[in-house]
Structure 1
């Protein structure tokens, strides 16, 4: 297993911008948080609805809002022949590895994923925070992915995983207060609509980009390797380039989503998004979960 690395950054707070993230300012006891910049918001760009935001307190791993129940992880896609995706559909199987959460589909109120753990991989910060966590099966797969990357001489760094409904609500409201609701909706996920709340997503970065979450990551050796190999470990690039009109979000080469090896391989080979593969395009009459 990879020994967790510590990255000591300059004391201060950073305005985290665009994409997966939602970080206004975050003070991490002397650590700077990753920064997100998309091509759409180059000036004081806010983070997108998928990342962390503002000041985040240190947390005791035993005092987190996770559900200690086992939950179920149905691997088979469930057919629904009647109801197309529409605004604010509540997903029927939130614990499914194939769950699709986006601007049209939300998790049930108060949902907390089961079996949250901290993967044994390098993070850009050392102290425990909620965003270090993932569901057990996703965390194990991430460890295997990081190990394989390390064997190729690549140095991936984890940045942001699980985020609670309450956390996302705070982040989204902060972005609305700062940028207005219409603008915030272009990059920030509303509470209940964030991939990070599933516990199946992790943002990754590299030291050479100062641990920022930027589209340039896709051009690094690590980003290039992920695009070609993430599926082998059950992950997909959730927001691929050229699919913005389908996913609703800008290209995010750093955002990994766990769906299991079998589906990840098919999604990779078909060059599809989760919306396309699982039939959750707006108006689709045969969605699957």
Structure 2
């Protein structure tokens, strides 16, 4: 090989290497834009009303065998309100924990189907639709609990309050009638709200709920074999309903406390639960000015 041939071969090799580097550097670079946007899946059965920030509508449906009863719990709490929001959060927590415990200690004979509306989701449309969508069988139980503001007018014909749901108030009587029309074996319908104008907060001595396990025999009598149908509200017409940031609404707290005690006793029954709830709330507000005293009301159907 001559010097000229060696030179040309070396030059050719260098040119090939330079061309390869040039081609590599000319590839288009795509800038990194971060991870893709998350995909949001909306359940078709979930109402769109009240879905803005600060509200939640959650449902935990269950598929239950025909041999068991389902407790359909609908919990509605005005958790966004500046005055009573903290109190209603506690109410919602107490009610959910109570009926989760009832189902959990029923030896598999009770299932819990839970629907919770909180914050801006507590519109009239959402509340009534949540009730309408309950798939209630003949042996099922419906528990409805509202915790929030309430009022009434001089023209309000019934003893029950109007619940301050968003956009439009909802008559508690409408809720009672809707639930009755579903023909459950048992229902408990509660409204912890004023039957006058607005809620007030007084820090009074609370009734401590009982601790410990429930008796299966009492669960059997009060839930599995019971046909009780009852509605109750935290105050009679013309009264406020009180609560605080420690115990929640006095009516809800007293109900949870007395039902907990009843389920822990072999003698527990529904009549004493509501009578004792009424007694406790009356006692807790007895030292207040007359306009701030509170007397719950209830009715068996």
TM-score greater than 0.5 by the shorter chain: no
Higher relative contact order, chain-length normalized (CA < 8 Å, sep 6+): 1
Higher helix share: 2
What TM-score, normalized by structure 1, do the two folds share? 0.27
TM-score (norm 2): 0.26
Specify the structure having the higher radius of gyration (Cα).
Answer: 2
